[in-house]
């Protein structure tokens, strides 16, 4: 074994081998994979080997499509067969709601280039005759589904990586990881120590233990999983003979089961409700190529539904039941990327569908390690998406919930109950007493809306407008016409201080830093000129800045801040950064009476001139020391008031008492989001994401190219000079009883005209630039997978996609935001656009100016 390597990959399952292959392919050949036992000694060897492209997150779905497409490539390079069976598959809906879900998935697939089709149960039965089609109302066909040989596939990755120069060491456990002051990792193994620049945790079932070697508790848990194999079935053989085809894969939402042909019989797997974690605290190092004891009682309820829906299978004899463990993160998607707080320690773990996702994970991670950027929108699987609140027990509760609902529909207004409440603010009980319906905002209980007194504070989950519609309308109208108060503890909050603070922020942010006592809004870009942050920044003192952003992005953005902190030399101590998390909480008051209300609570003059729009001031509010921003996300006259948690109850009580004479109302997050819609304000992770440039995102006025050399400036200048290909726009939609949710296709009546690309930009094979500033794309395989078909229907064509939307209650309009080709972005003509909602195309019209207070006069008064 070599003593030095550029990178050491720990773990020889399908994911580790894919990471190794992609690193080697990207040109890093001085790399080493270390495997405790033989390749596939974790979950990989006993997988059912199924693969598919569909995923709730369209960006993860794209990476799955890439994975499936990659198998031919690794077979060719390695000479090792993956035994690929591309059979295609169907998802079966047994209720109208599940059919709505399939319509949504099908619509999303339109701009992702997926060839899905909505079909009847009888059509599905023709491809899988063992089902009783009367149990279903419809289905969706996906041609890119099938199964493969898990062991052959893992070895194909490994052989291909070896051919490209990578090394693999077997039967050698990594026992310790330490880091030198210069950042070099000591990878201590049973056979000696390897010095490495980078370490990748692909430990699968032991990923948690490897995390612990560097002091990190990764939110990952193994679950027992069972599938059964039947004896050969004459019906299967007969079908194969008469059609010349294999039976397809079938996913049954109701039973939380999947089934497909395996040899001459059937394989049927379950995600049972009574699911069971495996080794919930520690994974034994001596666990190897063994299976767990099957527990038929546990899966009996799923089997009962399965046999009812697929009576053809019930008759068959069961040959074997496989029970094996594999790992999950809280939401079922992988944990990929650099771990915040560490240097050059990377993760590619919690990959629960290694044969659907392993290739995409390997590609994204290798891009990230080699080029400094994953190259795709990988937020859906970024290891930074969970906070410190995702402890061992929290993870256990959430993973069990996720497993048992693996194929269940998650409605857009559905909050999941497991592991809640976790974090609460001091106002939690008060909010419950006020009849708040609470939601989980990055682990924090946050009021969503307030149910009328006497009614149960509970969402009726639906794809359509629901029981929150009326109360949210009330909250919005009362706020717009009088004054409202809401909790904003769930924002991210940071303080950057020290003599180098301003230079540091000027280097990171696209906008000029404010003068003391003033506020600016500013995006943050990566080197490729892509949006990686959107902040409110106040200059609180000569060397002190307060920053607010999106709560879910806290670790993601801290990772970026830390990466760019001055590291050594005299400047190293000049910048300090502090993330408050829940040690700073907030309340926002908004509406025309908000100034009168606040004036009653403070002893300083806050008249229009004394405390202007976008001013920041520290002042006592209701007797509590607070920081106050004269700005709100409602786009109305209003204030954000920040305080230590110990004061939050005091301030809230004071606001409530003082607000009585003005008709103050409590409003929740959903009303806030409704109000931002009628102001055309974007949201982070919806409208603004790392796949968009700042001009595409219509953030032009916050990009000051002339101010100084900030990160991403050159790329942004190029984008501006060339003109953005796409633009973020707001639409008013002629909706019926359902509003957009996000990811719906936008159609335009363009006739024969070509308004440019319909591809989701850079979601795949993201732009990278060579030394000469020329844009270079990702690997050819990645590019192939990104090819989005132009979807045409007569004169109509899919030209873009929705990012978010909903009902804007004050202006009484259904609204949507999304991206369209720039040439169409200013076109407000009626009859030009349609947006697909739950499978029905609804007329939509671009609205360049926000429908509420277009001049911004109200918030400036
Ligand atoms: C019953 C069952 C059915 C499944 N069906 C499917 C399916 O149909 N489709 C699908 O896509 N997925 C399926 N899966 C899931 C799939 O198996 C996993 O997604 C995949 O195997 C994860 O691969 P991995 O490389 O991340 O982890 P693992 O396969 O667990 O590999 C991790 C490797 O790291 C090594 N390692 C750990 N610690 C160390 C250390 N300290 N030093 C050196 N080496 C170390 C281990 O020995 C192991 O070989 C199934 C799983 C099960 C259990």
Ligand 1 atom with minimal separation from the 41 CA? 49
Nearest-CA residue for ligand 1 atom 10 is 353
Which residues does 172 contact at the CB level (< 8 Å), separation at least 6? 1, 34, 35, 36, 189, 190, 191
Instruction: Look up tokens 């060897």; give the residue.
Output: 45
Ligand 1 pocket: which of 326, 350, 352, 403 to mutate (most atoms within 8 A of CB): 326
Task: For residue 342, report the distance from its CA to the centre of ligand 1, in Å.
Answer: 25
Closest CA to 166 of 17, 362, 42: 17
Q: Is the pLDDT of residue 110 over 80?
A: no
Beta-strand ranges (E) seen in 95-219 are 117-119, 138-142, 146-147, 167-169, 174-179, 185-189, 192-201
H or E stretch including 405? none
How many percent of the chain have pLDDT more than 70? 95
Q: What is the pLDDT of residues 258-305, one digit of tens each?
A: 999 999 999 999 999 999 999 999 999 999 888 999 999 999 999 999
Confidence (pLDDT) at 760: 52
Q: What is the pLDDT of residues 743-782, one digit of tens each?
A: 898 999 988 777 765 555 434 333 333 334 344 443 333 3
d(C-alpha 810, C-alpha 264), whole Å: 61
d(C-alpha 544, C-alpha 525), whole Å: 22
Nearest-CA residue for ligand 1 atom 52 is 47
Instruction: Look up tokens 């050594």; give the residue.
Output: 568
Ligand 1 atom with minimal separation from the 34 CA? 43
Task: For residue 297, report the distance from its CA to the centre of ligand 1, in Å.
Answer: 25
Confidence (pLDDT) at 766: 38
Nearest-CA residue for ligand 1 atom 26 is 204
Q: Given the DSSP bridges, would you call strands 4-10 and 192-201 parallel, antiparallel or unpaired?
A: parallel
Q: 3-class DSSP state for residue 250?
A: strand
Q: Is the pLDDT of residue 424 over 80?
A: yes
Ligand 1 atom with minimal separation from the 37 CA? 47
Nearest-CA residue for ligand 1 atom 48 is 42
Q: Are 519 and 629 in contact (CB under 8 A)?
A: yes
Closest CA to 442 of 417, 416, 418, 423: 423
d(C-alpha 403, C-alpha 261), whole Å: 23
pLDDT band at 595 (very low <50, low <70, confident <90, very high): very high
Confidence (pLDDT) at 765: 37
DSSP code string of 13-64: SHHHHHHHHHHHHTT--SEEEE-SSSTTTTTGGG---EE----SSHHHHHHH
The dihedral sign for the CA sequence 224, 225, 229, 230? positive
Task: For residue 47, report the distance from its CA to the centre of ligand 1, in Å.
Answer: 8
- pLDDT (mean) for 208-230: 97
DSSP code string of 419-439: T-S-B--TTHHHHHHTTEEEE
The dihedral sign for the CA sequence 68, 74, 76, 81? negative
Q: Is the pLDDT of residue 54 over 60?
A: yes
Nearest-CA residue for ligand 1 atom 38 is 203
d(C-alpha 634, C-alpha 637), whole Å: 8
Task: For residue 351, report the distance from its CA to the centre of ligand 1, in Å.
Answer: 8
Q: Is the pLDDT of residue 606 over 80?
A: yes
d(C-alpha 576, C-alpha 443), whole Å: 26
How many percent of the chain have pLDDT more than 90? 85
Q: 3-class DSSP state for residue 150?
A: helix
- pLDDT (mean) for 238-244: 95
Measured from the Cβ of residue 101, the count of other Cβ atoms closer than 10 Å reads: 23
Ligand 1 atom with minimal separation from the 213 CA? 41
Ligand 1 atom with minimal separation from the 288 CA? 47
Residue 224 sits at the vertex; the CA angle it makes with 218 and 225, to the nearest 5 degrees, is 120
- pLDDT (mean) for 712-727: 95
Closest CA to 335 of 286, 395, 274: 395
Ligand 1 pocket: which of 17, 18, 20, 44 to mutate (most atoms within 8 A of CB): 44
Q: Are 652 and 447 in contact (CB under 8 A)?
A: no
d(C-alpha 30, C-alpha 164), whole Å: 10
The dihedral sign for the CA sequence 377, 380, 386, 391? negative
Ligand 1 atom with minimal separation from the 39 CA? 49
Task: For residue 14, report the distance from its CA to the centre of ligand 1, in Å.
Answer: 7
Q: What is the pLDDT of residues 572-589, one digit of tens each?
A: 779 999 999 999 999 999
- The pTM of the full predicted model, rounded to 2 decimals, is 0.94
H or E stretch including 806? strand 796-808
- pLDDT (mean) for 108-112: 72
Measured from the Cβ of residue 343, the count of other Cβ atoms closer than 10 Å reads: 14
Confidence (pLDDT) at 791: 66
Confidence (pLDDT) at 672: 98
Beta-strand ranges (E) seen in 514-643 are 519-525, 531-541, 544-549, 576-579, 585-590, 616-621, 624-629, 638-643
Task: For residue 203, report the distance from its CA to the centre of ligand 1, in Å.
Answer: 8
Ligand 1 pocket: which of 84, 203, 289, 329 to mutate (most atoms within 8 A of CB): 203
DSSP code string of 188-203: EETTEEEEEEEEEE--
Instruction: Look up tokens 């003033």; give the residue.
Output: 518
Q: What is the pLDDT of residues 326-369, one digit of tens each?
A: 999 999 999 999 999 999 999 999 999 999 999 999 999 999 99
pLDDT band at 569 (very low <50, low <70, confident <90, very high): low
Task: For residue 293, report the distance from its CA to the centre of ligand 1, in Å.
Answer: 18
Alpha helix positions (H), 579-686: 594-601, 645-659, 669-677
The set of protein residues with a Cβ atom below 6 angstroms from ligand 1 is 10-16, 34-37, 41-44, 46-51, 173-174, 202-206, 210, 225, 227, 322, 324-326, 349, 351-356
Task: Compute the 3-state secondary structure of the chain and give helix, strand, coil in percent, each to the nearest 5.
Answer: 30, 30, 40
| Assigned token pair, 124 | 């599905």
Task: For residue 377, report the distance from its CA to the centre of ligand 1, in Å.
Answer: 24
Mean pLDDT (the chain, rounded): 93
Nearest-CA residue for ligand 1 atom 25 is 13
């Amino acid at each position: 074994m070599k003593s030095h390597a550029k990178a050491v990959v720990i773990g020889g399952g399908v994911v580790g081998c894919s990471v190794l292959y992609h690193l080697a392919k990207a040109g890093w050949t001085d790399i080493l994979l270390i495997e405790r036992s033989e390749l596939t000694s974790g979950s990989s060897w006993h997988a059912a080997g199924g693969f598919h492209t569909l995923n709730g997150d369209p960006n993860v779905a794209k990476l799955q499509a890439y994975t499936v497409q990659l198998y031919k490539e690794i077979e060719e390079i390695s000479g090792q067969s993956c035994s690929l069976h591309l059979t295609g598959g169907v998802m079966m809906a047994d209720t109208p709601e599940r059919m709505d879900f399939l319509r949504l998935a099908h619509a999303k697939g339109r701009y992702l280039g997926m060839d899905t089709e909505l079909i009847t149960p009888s059509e599905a039965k023709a491809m899988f005759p063992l089902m009783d089609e009367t149990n279903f109302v419809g289905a969706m066909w996906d041609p890119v589904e099938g199964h493969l040989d898990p062991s052959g596939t893992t070895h194909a990755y490994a052989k291909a990586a070896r051919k490209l120069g990578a090394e693999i060491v077997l039967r050698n456990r990594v026992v310790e990881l330490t880091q030198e002051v210069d950042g070099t990792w000591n990878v201590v193994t049973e056979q000696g120590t390897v010095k490495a620049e980078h370490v990748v945790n692909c430990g699968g079932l032991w990923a948690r233990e490897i995390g612990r070697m560097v002091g990190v508790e990764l939110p990952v848990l193994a679950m027992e999983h069972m599938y059964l194999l039947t004896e050969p079935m004459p019906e299967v053989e007969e079908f194969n003979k008469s059609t010349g085809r294999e039976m397809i894969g079938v996913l049954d939402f109701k039973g939380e089961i999947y089934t497909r042909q395996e040899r001459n019989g059937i394989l049927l797997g379950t995600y049972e409700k009574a699911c069971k974690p495996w080794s919930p605290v520690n994974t034994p190092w001596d666990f190897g190529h063994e299976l767990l004891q099957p527990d038929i009682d546990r899966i009996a309820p799923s089997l009962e539904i399965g046999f009812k829906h697929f009576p053809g299978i019930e008759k068959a004899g069961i040959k074997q039941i496989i029970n094996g463990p594999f790992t999950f993160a809280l939401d079922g998607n992988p944990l990929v990327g650099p771990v915040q707080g560490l240097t050059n320690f990377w993760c590619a773990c919690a990959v629960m569908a290694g044969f659907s996702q392993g290739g995409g994970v390997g590609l994204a991670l290798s891009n990230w390690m080699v080029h400094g950027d994953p190259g795709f929108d990988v937020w859906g699987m970024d290891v930074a998406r969970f906070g410190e609140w995702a402890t061992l027990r929290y993870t256990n509760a959430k993973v069990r919930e996720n497993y048992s609902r693996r194929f269940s529909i998650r409605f857009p207004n559905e909050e999941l109950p497991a592991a809640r409440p976790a974090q609460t603010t001091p106002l939690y009980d008060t909010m419950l007493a006020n009849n708040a319906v609470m939601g989980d905002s990055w682990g924090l209980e946050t009021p969503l809306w307030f149910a009328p007194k006497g009614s149960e504070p509970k969402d009726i989950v639906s794809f359509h407008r629901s029981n929150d519609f009326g109360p949210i309308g009330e909250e919005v109208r009362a706020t717009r016409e009088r004054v409202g108060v809401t909790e904003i503890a769930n924002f991210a909050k940071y303080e950057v201080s020290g003599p180098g603070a301003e230079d540091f922020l000027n280097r990171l942010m696209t906008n000029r830093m404010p003068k003391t006592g003033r506020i600016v809004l500013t995006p943050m870009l990566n080197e490729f000129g892509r949006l990686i942050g959107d902040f409110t920044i106040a200059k609180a003192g000569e060397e002190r800045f307060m920053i607010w952003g999106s709560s879910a992005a806290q670790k993601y953005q801290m990772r970026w801040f830390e990466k760019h902190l001055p590291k050594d030399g005299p400047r190293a101590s000049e910048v300090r950064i502090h993330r408050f998390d829940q040690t700073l909480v907030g309340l926002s008051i908004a509406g025309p009476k908000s100034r009168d209300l606040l004036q009653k609570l403070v002893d300083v003059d806050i008249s229009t001139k004394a405390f202007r729009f976008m001013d920041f001031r520290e002042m006592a509010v209701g007797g509590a020391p607070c920081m106050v921003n004269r700005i709100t996300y409602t786009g109305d006259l209003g204030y954000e008031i920040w305080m230590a948690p110990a004061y939050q109850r005091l301030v809230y009580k004071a606001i409530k008492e003082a607000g009585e004479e003005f008709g103050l109302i409590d409003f929740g997050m959903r009303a806030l989001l409704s109000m931002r819609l009628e102001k055309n304000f974007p949201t982070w992770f919806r409208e603004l994401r790392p796949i968009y440039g700042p001009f595409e995102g219509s953030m032009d006025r916050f990009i000051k190219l002339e101010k100084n050399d900030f990160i991403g400036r050159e790329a942004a200048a190029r984008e501006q000079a060339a003109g953005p290909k796409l633009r973020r726009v707001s639409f008013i939609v002629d909706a019926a009883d359902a509003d957009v949710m996000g990811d719906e296709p936008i159609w335009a009546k363009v006739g024969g005209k070509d308004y440019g690309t319909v591809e989701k930009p850079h979601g795949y094979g993201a732009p990278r630039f060579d030394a000469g500033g020329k844009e270079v794309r990702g690997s050819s395989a990645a590019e192939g997978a990104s090819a989005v078909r132009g979807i045409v229907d007569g004169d109509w064509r899919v030209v873009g996609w929705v990012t978010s939307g909903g009902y804007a209650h004050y202006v009484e309009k259904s609204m949507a935001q999304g991206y369209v080709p720039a040439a169409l972005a200013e076109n407000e003509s009626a009859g030009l656009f349609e947006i697909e909602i739950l499978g029905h195309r609804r007329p939509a019209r671009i609205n360049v100016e926000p429908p509420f207070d277009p001049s911004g006069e109200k918030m400036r008064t």
